[in-house]
Structure 1
Amino acid sequence: MNTKTLIAFAVSLLAGCTTVGPNFQPPAAQAPASYRSVSATSAAQGVTLQRDWWQMFGDAQLNQLEAQALQASPTLGAAAARIDRARAALGLARADDGPRVDVGGAVTDLRTSAKSVTTPVLGGKAIAFDGTQTTLQVSAGWELDLWGRVKRETEAAQAQLDAASLDAAAARVALTADVAAAYWQWRTLADEAQVLQRLLASRRSALQVVQTRFDAGAATTQDLQRARADVAAVEADQTDLPRRQALALNLIAALTGQAAAELQLQATPLAAPPAVAAGLPAELLQRRPDLAQSLALLHAATAQVGIAEGAFYPSLRLTGSFGFQSKELGDLIAAPSRLYNFGPSLTLPLLDAGRNKANLATAQAQVQESLAAFRGRMLQALREVDDALAELQGRATTQQAQQVALAASQQALAVSRQRYDAGAVSYLDVAEAERTPLATERALAQLRGAQWAATAQLVKALGGGWGQL
């Protein structure tokens, strides 16, 4: 049996070996049957999020802000660059699985030494060579992936590309939710400003009545100071409101990539937000890109174990070259000028001072770290949904109580006005009765803002329609 036959037999034998390292198996997601704040039935009620989820609110101004944010965000730009980098890394990994062919040429002026131990001797006289040599050569090399190490490298690179794409999707979800939350906060402050204006007008009217009565000797100093304190308290809130509105506008401008001075928004009253279907906890893995990204990173770490194991096994490389070499350029492409070589090379690691073992231990530890990170992120995702649902449920209950209080206070105000028209009470009694419904309206405006903020939080916690059309 000649050498070529032995090599072919060895290659066929080694090629039957299995791929090194463990195959990736997604871990079981430990999710409860339903969320704590809602039942499985009620969690299915409400609108289902789509990819461009903000469009379900029918707000053209919000749609424009979201489009600007998606176009101008440096965060999304950086995420896109990471995808390109991961795609290039995948191309490099795939290139290692094929042969490499190089073409080269050289023109060399050379002279060999007449005093070297390798100098040929003819008739007792050393022969030195002097002249110009031209070489044209094609060389090729191919490392046979006998153990699947290169396959694992490609697998790891593909998983890293998936993780980069999912990271960009998670960044998109976070950005769009943050834009909506900032926008709804600004609109809430606009609603609150209108209520504050009416409340301030009411308390100033009450102060004027008290001042008149005090001048006539019908009211005490305590009544006057109390009325003044009420006016001052509302004025303080009203004075602070532009600061809060400016901060909200600044945040919107930063998220949408424009200067705050150029941002022109029209405020309209906020209604109650629509209910969003939360679904089941087990669906979070398909709904949240950050969870899918965590799994992709675990996949890449698992493939790295196979790469580390591959270092313990021998590697077989086939190399060869073919070309022409001649001292005369005219004789370069001729049969006598041909040169070639071909031969396999086998490398078996023997002593590496524990390097391969350390690399394998590092890869295995990375798998455990990635697994723990996935489980931690899953728990965090469940908590975020539960928090948002609890916030929505709690705010809705509080709003119902405030609506009852508002109806009662408005009825009391109507009675007070009727008695004032009949001459039974003074205008001060009417002003006092007007205080409660206006304060309740302000609380309701703040509650609506909190509900919209919780809606943005829930959208973000549910993955913002990722994976949907």
Structure 2
Amino acid sequence: MTRRLALALLAGAASLAGCTVGPDYKGPPPLGAGAPPPAFVRADAAAVPTAAQTGRWWTALGDATLDLLEQRALAANADLAAAQARLHQARAGLRVQRANTLPSANVQGTYVHARLPGLSLEQDGDSSSRFDFYNDGLTASWEIDLFGGRRSVEAARAQAGEADAKLADVQVSLTAEVAQAYVSLRDRQRRIALGTQSVSLGEQALLLGQQRLDRGTATRGQIEQARQQLDEARAQLVPLLTQRDAYLDELATLLALAPGALDAELGSAASAPLPPREVAIGDPAALLRNRPDIRAAERELALQTAKVGVADAARFPAIKFMGIFGLGGTSPSDLVDPGKLTALLAPQISWSFLDFGRNRAKLSQAEAVRDEAEAKYRTAVLAGLRDAEGALARFRDQRLIVADRARALASATTAADIAAQRERAGTATKIDAADAERRRLSAESGLAAEEAALTAAFIGVEKSLGLGWS
């Protein structure tokens, strides 16, 4: 009778195992008025709607040094290592949840000494029974999640997906930060070189002015003006030197190195790389698929939806089976007697039906957390779209600024050439030619700064699209 009851419980549990409670996750919710448009509205002709590659976008800048720095950062960065560790934790948690749905077996030895009142097996007048039980063999247990079903596994799978998306988000931020720091470093190095030339010209102009003053062909006011220009040129050089060192240290930190470790390697001046003529940006729908923070928000919504099912299942009965199979009996010698084969099956049913609304409150709490996750997903979508549109607008407008700066440099170069020709012809002084050359250097420095800003805007576009992970 007991065996039939156990088998009946097992069959009933198997038939109820499919009765999973809680909502089924059907993907991210419709966005309604916040749905993305078919194409980005702030893009210009340089931003083409072809599909963007999610991986090594920085190679489009054509700078071998930057490529190497990105590779080293992806291999050594501490924040990235921490995100990878969190992903490993989440994946291990998924394996644990999957294993929890299956029976477990252990090898163990058991000794039981029992006294059972009301049951007499001995003829000594005692109304209770005392006996010893020895067993060695296998113990097995299986807790059947009748109503939670696959919800715990669904939650663990969504959590692993969220950790994966957050790892990708760290990669996106890291690659953008490395590229931005590198471009800023090259910009400062180039402008330091130009500023040094400007200081040299100012020193020459001051020396020539002093000579003219000594000959009586210049005024004290002209000398003070030349000295003022020289001091301003020197003052403008100082913050550039400070910023250069700061970007060297930032790059070293991103590569998990001590400050100053890259000074010798990157100390030689070089121009900042320029973005390609055309930039593939895809469309807003692709942004929702590629951008890691949006994918992480969607996986968080899936996680909290599964947890609603887990909370709902806690209101229903649970069944657990425990069994022992091995050799044993009432004496230690039975542990090695093949004829003393023993088997024990102990089904257990538990149901917290009287909890004064505790489980119902936990279910309401889980549903509220799920609603919060849905609202955060919608916010993440709108923030991602706004970020991308803003980055595209900055890239578009910066291209116009660079064009204006290039024309200004062309005019300043022409003016400097004319002044040099006049100086050689004797119709202009060396001071006039030096002033014209200094203005040309200033225009070139301005163009260098705006070109670096253009590359920074390109980096911003790639980051806003969620690119830089693989």
Per the normalisation by structure 2, the TM-score is 0.88
Q: Which runs of 5+ in 1 are unaligned?
A: none
What SS does structure 2 have at the residue aligned with 1:261?
coil
C-alpha distance in 2 between matches for 1:13 and 1:128: 39
Q: Work out which of the residue numbers 35, 54, 74 in structure 2 matches 1:70.
A: 74
1:274-293 matches, within 5 Å, as: 274=276, 275-293=278-296
C-alpha distance in 2 between matches for 1:352 and 1:217: 104
Amino acid at match of 1:310: A
Alpha-carbon shift at residue 129 of structure 1 (Å): 6.5
Amino acid at match of 1:122: Q
Tell me if 1:318 matches 2:317: no
C-alpha distance in 2 between matches for 1:419 and 1:338: 115
C-alpha distance in 2 between matches for 1:181 and 1:385: 17
Alpha-carbon shift at residue 49 of structure 1 (Å): 3.6
C-alpha distance after superposition, 1:231-290 (max 9, x if no partner): 001111223322111101000100111223331124322353214222212211122122
C-alpha distance after superposition, 1:127-175 (max 9, x if no partner): 9969x8632243322233332x141000100111111112111111211
Q: Is the 1:203–1:227 contact (alpha carbons within 8 Å) kept by the matching residues of 2?
A: yes
What SS does structure 2 have at the residue aligned with 1:189?
helix
Aligned to 1:236: 235
Q: Which deviates more from structure 2 when the two are superposed, residues 196-205 or residues 335-344?
A: 335-344
Q: Is the 2:137–2:326 contact (alpha carbons within 8 Å) kept by the matching residues of 1?
A: yes
Q: Which deviates more from structure 2 when the two are superposed, residues 370-379 or residues 339-348?
A: 339-348
Q: Is the 1:49–1:276 contact (alpha carbons within 8 Å) kept by the matching residues of 2?
A: no
Amino acid at match of 1:252: L
Aligned to 1:14: 16
Tell me if 1:32 matches 2:51: no
Aligned to 2:208: 209
Amino acid at match of 2:326: G
Aligned to 1:89: 93
Q: Which deviates more from structure 2 when the two are superposed, residues 73-82 or residues 335-344?
A: 335-344
Q: Work out which of the residue numbers 22, 25, 28 in structure 2 matches 1:23.
A: 25
C-alpha distance in 1 between matches for 2:466 and 2:404: 32
Alpha-carbon shift at residue 107 of structure 1 (Å): 5.4
Q: Is the alpha carbon distance of 1:42 and 1:446 closer, same or farther for their aligned partners in structure 2, counting shifts above 3 Å? A: closer
Q: Is the 2:175–2:468 contact (alpha carbons within 8 Å) kept by the matching residues of 1?
A: no
Q: Is the alpha carbon distance of 1:393 and 1:117 closer, same or farther for their aligned partners in structure 2, counting shifts above 3 Å? A: same
Q: Is the 1:159–1:297 contact (alpha carbons within 8 Å) kept by the matching residues of 2?
A: yes
C-alpha distance in 1 between matches for 2:27 and 2:286: 19
RMSD: 2.9
1:156-195 matches, within 5 Å, as: 156-195=155-194
Q: Is the 1:402–1:440 contact (alpha carbons within 8 Å) kept by the matching residues of 2?
A: yes
Q: Is the alpha carbon distance of 1:123 and 1:372 closer, same or farther for their aligned partners in structure 2, counting shifts above 3 Å? A: closer
C-alpha distance in 1 between matches for 2:253 and 2:10: 65
Q: Which deviates more from structure 2 when the two are superposed, residues 244-253 or residues 260-269?
A: 260-269
Aligned to 1:404: 407
- Identity rate of aligned residues, in percent? 32
Aligned to 2:144: 144
Q: Is the 1:184–1:449 contact (alpha carbons within 8 Å) kept by the matching residues of 2?
A: yes
Alpha-carbon shift at residue 50 of structure 1 (Å): 4.8
C-alpha distance in 1 between matches for 2:133 and 2:51: 79
Alpha-carbon shift at residue 389 of structure 1 (Å): 1.9
Q: Is the alpha carbon distance of 1:379 and 1:143 closer, same or farther for their aligned partners in structure 2, counting shifts above 3 Å? A: same
Aligned to 1:51: 55
C-alpha distance in 2 between matches for 1:408 and 1:310: 76
Tell me if 1:358 matches 2:344: no
What SS does structure 1 have at the residue aligned with 2:26?
coil
Tell me if 1:383 matches 2:382: no
Aligned to 1:306: 309
Q: Is the alpha carbon distance of 1:253 and 1:344 closer, same or farther for their aligned partners in structure 2, counting shifts above 3 Å? A: same
Amino acid at match of 2:140: A
C-alpha distance in 2 between matches for 1:43 and 1:120: 91
Amino acid at match of 1:64: L
Aligned to 2:377: 374
Q: Which deviates more from structure 2 when the two are superposed, residues 16-25 or residues 390-399?
A: 16-25
Q: Is the 1:287–1:465 contact (alpha carbons within 8 Å) kept by the matching residues of 2?
A: no
Q: Is the 2:327–2:340 contact (alpha carbons within 8 Å) kept by the matching residues of 1?
A: yes
What SS does structure 2 have at the residue aligned with 1:342?
strand
Q: Work out which of the residue numbers 425, 429, 432 in structure 1 matches 2:432.
A: 429
Q: Is the alpha carbon distance of 1:136 and 1:119 closer, same or farther for their aligned partners in structure 2, counting shifts above 3 Å? A: same
Amino acid at match of 2:23: G
Aligned to 1:223: 222
C-alpha distance in 2 between matches for 1:349 and 1:107: 32
